[in-house]
Amino acid sequence: MQSDQAAEAEILCERRGAAGVVTLNRPRALNALTLGMVRAMRAALDAWEKDPAVTRVVVTGAGGKAFCAGGDIRRLHDLGRAGRIEEARTFWAEEYRLNARIKSYTKPYVALIDGIVMGGGVGLSLHGSHRVASEKLVFAMPEVGIGFFPDVGATYALPRLPGATGTYLAVTGERIGLADACALGIVTHPVASAAMDEVLEELCAGEDIEQVLTARAVAPGAPPLAAERDMIDRCFAGEDIPDILNRLLKEAGQGSENAGRLAALMRTKSPTSMAIAREQMRRGPSLSFPEAMQLEYRIVSRIAEGYDFYEGVRAVIVDKDQAPKWRPAQVEEVTSEAIAAYFAPLPEGDLTID
């Protein structure tokens, strides 16, 4: 485990005027999240919630490229490969509890997203009250490409996006920019990258949050996905992954180049991961946020003992050959019984959420 000093270098939690400010401080790693960062942030949030001098929390990422590109996947891969799965599970348990803490936080929670936000970074931003993003935003939940699954509250949040767009994002891992993120409600306030420092200063000075963000708001532009929404809603409402692929191929046969591209893209992803993601989207609408996090912990506990996650990280991050050998290799080989096992209660009981 990390020392407190190492965690402090990776994340800065400080009181600045009226704000508790969290700076994710691993810019060379695109601010990827470690256990030490999770613990430091949780402690800060707990302290600031009780401090009457802190009227809002502001979270930002250092370096100018990313808010947070996700969890430290390489570290989690290495722990699992070394047989230290319990250490990896500890990270996910504490990360998921932090996501739930953010969702239920009683003070305004403002994420300033100036660049990449993916995976674990989505968990630190999407569940807060204010999601402020710039034209540099790149948003994605790309986990199906590494044999993982959309976690950190995606089970709750993505099915609540308009139409079938949540399923589309979950099973393709596609990236979207500022205009689409605003149109889908992922981003609450679009602000120019050049104004982010001023926004931070004004929030720290205790100025009215809505007034600050409204005054700095910019037009996000036309959302590219708007032209594809009908196709997305038709195809990604499919019952399972083979059904979605068949619908995409039908649309492609009727002239949709994008549908054909998406079908080909999905064939490169982990069949098991996509099937898990589709089932998450089915179950998510009926779950509370804590229930969604408990379900994700069931899934991740099984993923950590499986094959595709380690193979996906090997292919994409370790060896970088971009040629994972999934098991099973085809979506048609994934059984409903195999997927149901990921969602089954854990023998030791569900993750406790405060």
Active site residues: 71, 120, 143, 151
| CA–CA separation, 216 and 133 (whole Å) | 11
Question: Could you give the C-alpha distances from 178 to 38, 208, 230, in angstroms and in order?
Answer: 26, 24, 20
- Concatenate the DSSP letters of all residues of 49-78 into one string: HH-TT--EEEEEETTSSEEE--B-HHHHHH
Nearest one of 346, 340, 344, 350 to 293, comparing CA atoms: 350
Q: Enumerate the β-bridge partners of residue 121.
A: none
Q: How many whole angstroms from its chain centre is CA 216?
A: 26
Token digits of residue 251: 């649309």
Dihedral angle computed from the Cα positions of residues 338, 343, 345 and 349, in that order, rounded to the nearest 10 degrees: 130
Alpha carbons 128 and 130: distance in angstroms, whole number: 6
Angle, CA of 82, 34 and 51, to the nearest 5°:
145
Per-position DSSP letters for 213-267, written without gaps between them: HHHTB------GGGGGHHHHHHHTT-SSHHHHHHHHHHHHHTT-HHHHHHHHHHT
**Both structure tokens of 261:** 């591209």
For the chain, how far is it from start to end, CA to CA, in angstroms? 23
